[in-house]
Amino acid sequence: MVKTTLNAKGGAAAETAPGGRPGRLCAVVIPASSAGGRGLQEPSPTGNCSATCACVPAAAPPENLVGLEHAILGRLVACLQVQLVNDINQGNRPRRTQPAGAPSIRTDAAARKSASAREAVRFETVDEGSVGQRLDNFLLRVLKGVPKSHIYRIVRSGEVRIDSGRAQPEHKLAIGQIVRIPPVRTAERGVTRPVTPRNFPVLFEDAQLLIVDKPAGVAVHGGSGISAGLIEQMRAARPELRDLELVHRLDRETSGVLLLAKKRSALRRLHDALRDGATDKHYLALVDGTWRDDKRTVKAPLLKYSTTEGERRVSVSREGQPSETVFRLLRRWPQACLLDCELLTGRTHQIRVHLQHTGHPIAGDDKYGDYAWNHALARMGLKRMFLHAARIRFSHPTSGEPMTVEAPLPAALQAVLDRLDAEPATASTTAIDANATRSPISGMGQGETP
């Protein structure tokens, strides 16, 4: 063992090793342990230091004890750095020492996360009630409360899979297919507002269908800042109708006939009828100006876009989808006309944009209408858009029997027509009224073909 003695001035005296050989002052020795551990080792009794030892030659001792301590600390840091590099090169990365038998924190957290993800993934098998339904509509039904934008995002990113393969939102489901639904974060139940049940005037109901008269100002479904629409309120009012779904949609400010299906099979058949043009939908619209044709067909492609404020709009564009509407003149006043509007296609805001395109916007339309005329009509009592889904014709989804369902003109709109009737009539107005019944609905389409 090397012995160190201090002289009277506090310095290190000359040192000797066993056998009288000049020694070296061994600061610390860090062995390269096969277990990856670290510790301190006593200096070699022979004075033979290991390769990783940082030693201070005894021939040049520090002048005082403080200097000796500084030298030892410096050599210690150097040895630690050397040993760390050796450990990394050998694949022995340093790790925090844990008590024997203690579980790995990192491993347990990863396991919990993996188990949670596995539990959150859902697999839904397509049954007979969902056959033929679009994937996006299926997910909207299964993931109630999830925004439509988020559903489209997980479908297009490939997180939703059908039989382990990617699919598009418009994919039609087949019986027996397995739909993989990823974990979807929804609002906490305690935070979600309860839906207030509400019933609406029923125009027709049987085991397959529920047809209601939708009032203006009610959205058909929630979204875009609307917590609950007509379909959510109807489900809350009729909880026994577990598969109640919208067959088609109406704008929020449009009133009138709205079809709902009680069963998936009825919904699928009605969707096929709408797609194949096997239904007739007629609307009543009061428009600005003088409509000169008794019948006019407008074919103008429509393109959807969003404004800088995020508002959804539609305009006539060559890049848009083909759209066709047939307009028939019912009544005429000096500054307005009442039209029957038959949809041959079902684009968003189709009637409203087609009438704006012809220069005859709908009364009270705050998006596509004339502001000055709307203001004048408001003084007459018109507080909403004058567009009403008056009649629909279709075949019953089960029996195939032809059906015609009508919704009466709301009192607020009829009052506007009465005010217009009170104004002096022109010769053309009298001629049209002579061939029309008092009710615009019952007089629509008599003696005419589409």
Classify the C-alpha dihedral 351-352-353-354 as positive or negative: positive
Rounded distance, CA 336 to CA 334, Å?
Answer: 6
Is 213 in contact with 201 (CB distance < 8 Å)? yes
Provide the 10 A C-beta neighbour count for residue 74.
Answer: 13
Give pLDDT, residue 88: 63
**Residues 244-272: tens digit of each pLDDT:** 999 999 999 999 999 999 998 899 899 99
* CATH class of the domain defined by 202-434: alpha beta
- Quick one: pLDDT at residue 31? 47
Residue 392 to residues 225, 243, 258, 418, Cα–Cα distance (Å)? 30, 22, 9, 25
CATH 3.30.2350.10 residue ranges in the chain? 202-434
Q: What is the sign, positive or negative, of the torsion defined by CA atoms of 76, 78, 79, 81? A: positive
Quote the percentage of the chain above a pLDDT of 90.
50
Whether 404 shows a pLDDT value over 60: the answer reads yes
pLDDT of residue 131: 79
Please enumerate, as own/partner, the contacts of 317-323 that have beta carbons within 8 Å and a separation of 24 or more: 321/345, 321/347, 323/299, 323/347, 323/350, 323/354
- Distance CA(255)–CA(390), nearest Å, equals 8
pLDDT at 149: 87
Cα separation, 195 vs 67, in Å, equals 80
Bridge partners of residue 256, in order along the sequence: 214, 389
pLDDT surpasses 80 at 122: yes
- Per the model's pLDDT, the better-predicted residue between 174 and 388 turns out to be 388
What percent of the chain has a predicted confidence (pLDDT) above 70? 69
Q: Please tell me the distance from the alpha carbon of residue 45 to that of residue 89, in angstroms, as a whole number.
A: 30
Q: Is residue 77 over pLDDT 90?
A: no
Q: Which amino acid is at 11?
A: G
Query: What stretch of H or E contains 78?
Result: helix 65-89
Highest mean pLDDT among 44-58, 176-190, 299-313: 299-313
Encode pLDDT of 334-378 as tens digits.
Answer: 999 999 999 999 999 999 999 999 999 999 999 999 999 999 999
- Does 155 have pLDDT greater than 50? yes
pLDDT of residue 443 exceeding 50, the answer is no
- The mean pLDDT of 386-393, rounded to a whole number, is 98
Q: Which residue has the higher pLDDT, 443 or 404?
A: 404
What is the location of CATH 3.10.290.10 in the chain? 120-181
Residue 139 has a pLDDT of: 92
State the pLDDT at residue 186.
62
> Between 203 and 185, whose confidence is greater?
203
Q: How far apart are CA 333 and CA 417, in angstroms?
A: 10
Instruction: Tell me the catalytic residues.
Output: 251
CATH topology of domain 120-181: 3.10.290
Confidence of residue 21 (pLDDT cuts 50, 70, 90): very low
Q: What is the mean pLDDT of the chain?
A: 78
Query: Over the stretch 414-431, which tens digit does the pLDDT of each residue have?
Result: 999 999 998 765 434 433
The DSSP bridge pattern shows strands 280-288 and 295-299 to be: unpaired
